[in-house]
Chains A and B, each alone.
Chain A
Amino acid sequence: MSEHIVSKTIYFLIFGALMVLTVLTYWVALYDFGALNVVIALAVAVTKALLVVLFFMHVRYSTRLTKIVVISGFFWLALLIVLTLSDYFTRPGTSGVGGVPASRSTR
């Protein structure tokens, strides 16, 4: 039973951080940073998710195998997204991220 018990203090600290970050999510959304909007929103969300994964889900204290499993999950999701977009963002009529293809028009 080599189990690591995370103290209650850490749980409450993480909880506080998550609350702050939630408010931050909302607050930054009120301002327009142009293309950075998505980046900022995702950065905050990823930070929150990392806190939950590392502390609430104990990954920080887990075996290397668990860490590899977690990372591979997100890695495969990235594969799916990147390779699919490699098609869409190189189609004629699109202008990269945010581009509306010329052929996409009416109902």
Chain B
Amino acid sequence: MAEAVHTTMEHPASAHAALQHHFENMEQQREAGTLGMWIFLVTEIMFFGGMFMAYILYRSYNADAFAAASNRLNVTMGFINTIVLICSSLTMALAVYYSQVGKRKMIVVMLILTMMLGTTFLVVKAFEYYDKYEKSEIPGRLFPSRPFNWYAEEEHGKQVTQEPARDAATERNPQAVPTGQEQKPDASFASRAEMFFFIYFAMTGIHALHMVIGIGMLIVLTIMAWRDRFSPEYHSPVELGGLYWHFVDIVWIFLFPLLYLLGAHGISGGH
């Protein structure tokens, strides 16, 4: 027995400085970290999964209202954000690459680029949210001065870019081409659209929160990289941070078509 065992009190002096006391070697430490991160991401899948469940159910019940409400979102901004996030995923992947080959400066550059792209995403998101606030499209009575009002724009006499009423009517009855005159949808239409906005804010809000946490994580990683903590032997923090960042990107890859593009074929003139 004795020949195969190590003393557990201390690692030999040759051990890597980043090796924690309870692991036998770097390989085991890295394996544990990766597995732990993936399990954490599984919990994230289930966390977002609850909201996706609600989305699927209510969208299948309220296809018309969801399509009309989706058209109120700013597709351009959503599209730009998708591109921004994919770029940030690339820079993150490159940061991992440079940590594997051990190029300190490039790790820092890539991490900072990732952070900037992430911040861009959040800024665009903030503009979108503010726009929703201005148009009284924040569900419920979170802001008592601007309760949710589907018809707010019409009531203010502004030019409405899209006629939700017409959209809805067209959806349900494509033959009946509206002839300029207002067709009131059923009374529950506005409140069912409100459901869309609730889901929109819940999902994108929690996604944005993950982005904020991710940027915080990137700041720590950048400092660590700057202080030359990483090497080809030890770079799991960058790798694990990358996994998290890519996951947040994947969530958005699903959110973009599911939230922004539901009714796009209704407005573009395409067929």
Hey, which bits of chain A sit against chain B, CB under 8 A?
1-3, 5-6, 8, 11-12, 15, 18-19, 22, 25-26, 29-32, 37, 41-42, 44-45, 48-49, 52-53, 55-57, 62-63, 65-66, 69-70, 72-74, 76-77, 80-81, 84-85, 88, 97-101, 104-107
Contact = CB atoms under 8 A, between A and B. Distances in A.
Nearest to B82: A22
A80 B60 contact: no
Contacts of B79: 22, 26
Give the interface SS of chain A, mostly helix, strand, loop or mixed: helix
Interface of B: 26-27, 30-31, 34-35, 38-39, 41-42, 45-46, 49-50, 52-53, 56-57, 60-63, 75, 79, 82-83, 86-87, 89-90, 92-94, 97, 100-101, 186-188, 191, 232-233, 242-243, 246-247, 249-250, 253-254, 256-258, 261, 264-266, 268, 270-271
Contacts of A29: 257, 261, 264-265
Give the interface SS of chain B, mostly helix, strand, loop or mixed: helix
A27 to B, nearest CB: 9
B81 to A, nearest CB: 11
A25 B56 CA distance: 19
B63 A98 contact: yes
B252 to A, nearest CB: 10
Contact of B83 (A19, A41, A52, A98): A19
A5 B42 contact: no
Contact of B52 (A63, A72, A81): A81
7 contacts: A6-B93, A22-B82, A22-B83, A52-B249, A70-B41, A80-B50, A88-B60
A106 B49 contact: no
B265 A30 contact: yes
B57 to A, nearest CB: 6
Contacts of A104: 61, 188
A66 B86 CA distance: 23
Nearest to A70: B38
Contacts of B27: 1-2
A61 to B, nearest CB: 12
Nearest to B42: A73
Nearest to B101: A5
B89 A77 contact: no
A56 B82 CA distance: 16
A104 to B, nearest CB: 7
Contacts of A12: 90
User: Which 10 pairs show the lowest CB-CB distances between chains A and B?
Assistant: A73-B42, A29-B261, A30-B270, A29-B264, A41-B257, A32-B265, A77-B49, A73-B45, A15-B90, A30-B268
